[in-house]
Structure 1
């Protein structure tokens, strides 16, 4: 294959080569994801070890959801009102301190249970505060025409962490113990803080208002007034609610007489996303990003439905990998539309709404999958959820035609945002809200 053909397939590394801050965030995110996944695996395993109770392990999700939602919305307003670099730095340092609490607790002769839940809630809260600042910073440090490539690289970074982190965490916990796993997490956050210190300042634009409920409502009204944005949130929520079956993977493994493949089921989606990321060069030339959102969600739903129909474990794993690739494709479209169209002064608050999309959907999806499996059986819960996902995405596409017709070259918000970025580049000034 010629060099030009390889370039058309392989990831586009232009944002990484051209942007110092993007490289710093790429390194920071890689280290953080790896360390965080180490703790994400060790924490529920330690709760299981201390209690031997599935209910106690499941309760961790309950204590995480509310802080994530509340702090996600507030963090969005905060990201529009303060220096985003400072917010990222402080929350990253806070996450490191919480990891240190886990380490100290694990070193006790008799580790305590309650600190594990407190830390889980604290991590969820700090993540909610930090995520909007991280997401909203991307459009400021990456040129307008490189946003899809940047989203693909960020997805690639996440998938590497999602595959390597849990795999190594299992080995570390099994052979070295929980304290060793948490030590890796603490070290990761220490490196991450040092990298964040080197980021350029990212002060708010104009006369930013203090975070308030009125400011959060203003962001919600803006999203509601933009059918394209509304469509990205709605499609993601529908896909996750109807076709997020992770909670019933153990039951599917039992029915297929393939208990040995349970870990592969959890990893298959990340592998599919990774393959899509490694061959994402073509996405940099896409202009109709709404089609990526809808098409990727449709692939996700069909693949989950097929996983419920098939009886061969290897075909099921293949379907789960295809679902992961579809989810990655839809995510690239969503991230590009958000970064191409949202005004700088509202970017944090809209990123806070995104936190609701990516957190509430999977949580409710797990409830739906478990409830449906209890009523109708595991296989039916899979294929019915997948088909419901496809149907709901089709209905949303019909109700919100502007999402399908979105074109980065002609959409009014995208054109306005691009012109603002070009004006900033010519004047050498800070980004301003269009």
Structure 2
């Protein structure tokens, strides 16, 4: 269903997925309106680790994460996945499907399917660099730090297996503390063994948001801010977006509202179980700023160099909310990270924030048309991979708007959790 040049497309959400969708729709000649509840780059778009990491884009549902979640119910003292007991009833449907996707065979299949997008990431990002939209891409490598050789060897073997997927070279040899200090002088006593793993890259996500906004506006896109979409309605030849400021009409719509998508999707017949998982981040100012991304053993904490500061990221929290910083989570990340690093005043941290990640039960996004209509395309549920999968998603969205079901990828079918008694409203 290819529309003529100038056909109107309204994109719900001006986060990374919405902005990438607008970018590729404009490339095809569509007239784009971005309708955003707040300001561009809300949600998780600006507060993530900035990793463009196709080699690390494994789906979250796994037995290891299930174990973390169970432990968090009893004692929230560590792990990658914090689940508040009070939140369990509200996310029970999500959790049941998450556990069903945790077995090794399903995990492996989901990872293979994510690589349909991952394999496009490097070339699409390179083109964005050539276009001047990405200006600060870094590729010095990820430095994996461990307190014991045994732990380092297990980590090395895991990443060697990941590299065989073809998205990154094999990790470099394991080295001891003296060699690590030559790479990064600001390491603490827990950093005894480690190795470099190259291939994945990083950037400042807030700078990317601003560059994408500037680019799409310069090419004629319209940006409507402070306009939360309350409903998406399909008409015969149009789509209507209901906002407090009035109705926005277009010939096509793209629902890319991140962690806010589920309430818009269910009236359209899509039950995606898109559930907000709060990702934590804050900034520190080390005496010796790192020059690599640092991954700190089994802590699930990572550090990203971002100019005059270093961003600390890690962990996902399910408490039934999209915002609200629990200081205990920040404090825990600091306690876990401190032994690996030296020369940091942890009490002087800044930018302590959470970003709601749109989590799905199988770790894969929802990308495709809603039932009964090619005029509304869903593009949400990217879990913690919105930056890595964003460009490939945007290009797929443009294909779906242009050609309808012919461009659909079955693995990302928005209806995959909706089969059965749920009917389209």
TM interval, short-chain normalised: under 0.3
TM-score normalised by the chain length of structure 2: 0.25
TM-score normalised by the chain length of structure 1: 0.25
